[in-house]
């Protein structure tokens, strides 16, 4: 019996490396605050993205690709957990506070990184985290073998200054596996360098790389030579924004080239998307926005209209995805999570991931819509959106009534048909209510509210005697 068991173990060991190599390497690339219309494959004519366009042409483009939230932190919590982030109360952007043990992605959530690491993948994240800055939320504690980047919501692209950190902490040192790190030159290039290094070190076994660029998120900064390439753009803000996108696209090209040089390109699945739509100027913020364009879609970052939720999204896997694939049905970032975990042989339960494996749909092994409906929620139950069979019911602002649109005939959401189709609105709202029932309230303040309360707390912490002495001076 012992000899039989030994023989079986030997056979398993001989087959294990081969089986592991059949699983794809996975590179998930996420842009930050990028407009839907700012890639060539989504219609841009003034910004050059040849590397993204090449990935799109030789892979699959999702014509209706959505994220789970119209701004950064919650959207990232959704794709990293593979679940609607409302299930665990991550509905606001966390402030940077390494002492706050509550303000981050719930420890009960098993992230994509953990699921793949458990399945035998080498895992790495490079760039922006924004899922909590205290120790329990650190990437190295949440399934990532390697982390180079920053835990805050953004970073200056050229410098570090530990004296002048700023309220949003965009000047803090970067980190390399929980140790302080510096960079020289332009941050986007540095993140690309680190991605290249990770691939070169990890090529011998399946790897998962989350390349989380902060470009083209504010502050609007780019190398002068990159900005000069876009002298034809009259708007100075969009000119810098275009340069930021351009440098990121060049970096993506270097990552793909590295995959080719290391001999792993054929069996590497690359996903690309933005974390939300591009931010736009508004009547109350005429100088806002980052110069991005969401094309025909209404609204932008922060909105539950298409412009806030619908993002450029593609998948490329030479071994499995037919070049020139265009997928028309609505999909959501949760599907990316489910797809890569299933393909990697990871566990999809405990808690159950909510996305759908997209590969059978891309291969036309499955037909129809992957989802009966897609759902969004903001600030508990006050804002919402639901999409079902092309009808979209949305409550976008506290002081505005809900609206109903038919995206089949009105994708730009210009014609509110609520009065003509109240029964459709009622049906969609009932679906949304059912989906919302297990959700919990958001678990921490939005970062600007939190910072206000933190200032007030410290001001109130001054002893009365000290206040009197200070006022007397």
Residues with a catalytic annotation lie at 72, 130
**Computed over its alpha carbons, how large is the radius of gyration of the chain?**
23
What letter does residue 472 receive in the DSSP assignment? Answer: H
Query: Helix 72-81 to helix 333-343 angle, to the nearest 10 degrees?
Result: 30
Q: Which two tokens stand for residue 231?
A: 């002298």
Q: Residue 170 CB: number of other CB atoms within 10 A? A: 23
In what helix (H) or strand (E) does residue 179 lie, and over which residues does it extend? strand 179-181
The residues with which 179 forms a beta bridge, in sequence order, are: 176
In what helix (H) or strand (E) does residue 331 lie, and over which residues does it extend? strand 325-332
Residues 321-359 as b/e (b if ≥16 CB within 10 A, e otherwise) read beeebebeebbbbbbbbbbbbbbbbbebeeeebbbbbbb
Is the CB of residue 374 less than 8 Å from the CB of residue 67?
no
Q: Which two tokens stand for residue 273?
A: 């998307």
In order of 45, 56, 253, 362, 416, the CA distances from 323 in angstroms are 22, 8, 18, 11, 38
Q: Which two tokens stand for residue 407?
A: 């995206």
Strands ordered across the beta sheet of 146-150: 179-181, 174-176, 146-150, 122-128, 207-212, 25-31, 268-274, 313-316, 60-66, 325-332
d(CA 351, CA 370): 20
Q: Which two tokens stand for residue 178?
A: 């929980």
Q: Which two tokens stand for residue 465?
A: 């005697």
Q: Which two tokens stand for residue 385?
A: 């959106």
User: Which among 291, 287, 352 has a CA at the least distance from the CA of 110?
Assistant: 352
In order of 42, 95, 179, the CA distances from 102 in angstroms are 39, 11, 22
Checking DSSP bridges between strand 325-332 and strand 146-150, what pairing results, if any? unpaired
d(CA 303, CA 41): 23
Q: Which two tokens stand for residue 374?
A: 């897609």
């Amino acid at each position: 019996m012992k000899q039989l068991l030994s023989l079986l173990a030997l056979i398993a060991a001989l087959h294990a490396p081969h089986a592991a190599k059949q699983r794809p390497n996975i590179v998930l690339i996420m842009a930050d605050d990028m407009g839907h219309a700012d890639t060539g494959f989504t219609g841009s004519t003034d910004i050059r993205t040849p590397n993204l366009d090449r990935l799109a042409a030789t892979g699959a483009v999702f014509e209706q690709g959505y994220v789970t939230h119209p701004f950064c932190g919650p959207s990232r919590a959704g794709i990293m957990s593979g679940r609607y982030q409302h299930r665990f109360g991550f509905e606001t952007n966390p402030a940077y506070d390494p002492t706050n043990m509550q303000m981050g992605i719930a420890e009960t959530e098993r992230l994509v990184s953990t699921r793949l690491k458990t399945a035998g993948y080498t895992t790495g994240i490079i760039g922006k985290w924004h899922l909590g800055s205290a120790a329990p939320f650190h990437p190295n504690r949440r399934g990532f073998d390697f982390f180079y980047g920053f835990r805050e919501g953004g970073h200056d692209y050229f410098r570090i200054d530990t004296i002048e950190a700023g309220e949003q902490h965009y000047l803090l040192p970067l980190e390399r596996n929980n140790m302080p790190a510096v960079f020289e030159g332009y941050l986007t290039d540095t993140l690309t360098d680190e991605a290249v290094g990770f691939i070169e070190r990890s090529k011998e076994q399946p790897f998962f790389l989350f390349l989380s660029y902060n470009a083209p998120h504010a502050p609007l900064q780019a190398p002068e030579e990159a900005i000069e390439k876009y002298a034809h753009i009259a708007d100075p803000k969009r000119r810098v924004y275009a340069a930021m996108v351009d440098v990121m696209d060049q970096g993506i090209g270097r990552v793909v080239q590295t995959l080719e040089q290391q001999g792993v390109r054929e069996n590497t699945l690359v996903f690309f998307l933005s974390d939300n739509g591009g931010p736009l100027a508004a009547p109350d913020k005429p100088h806002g926005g980052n110069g991005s364009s969401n094309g025909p879609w209404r609204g932008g970052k922060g909105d539950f209209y298409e412009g806030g939720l619908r993002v450029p999204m593609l998948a490329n896997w030479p071994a499995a995805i037919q070049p020139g694939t265009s997928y028309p049905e609505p999909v959501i970032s949760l599907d990316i999570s489910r797809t890569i975990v299933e393909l990697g042989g990871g566990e999809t339960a405990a808690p159950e991931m909510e996305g759908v494996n997209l590969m059978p749909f891309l291969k036309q092994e499955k037909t129809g819509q992957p989802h009966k409906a897609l759902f969004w929620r903001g600030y508990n139950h006050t804002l919402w959106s639901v999409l079902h069979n092309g009808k979209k019911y949305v409550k976008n602002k506290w002081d505005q009534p809900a609206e109903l649109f038919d995206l089949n005939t009105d994708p730009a959401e210009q014609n509110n048909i609520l009065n003509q189709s109240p029964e459709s609105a009622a049906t969609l709202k009932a679906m949304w209510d059912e989906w919302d029932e297990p959700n919990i309230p958001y678990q921490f303040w939005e970062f600007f509210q939190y910072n206000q309360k933190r200032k007030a707390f410290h001001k109130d912490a001054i002893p009365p005697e000290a206040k009197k002495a200070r006022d007397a001076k």
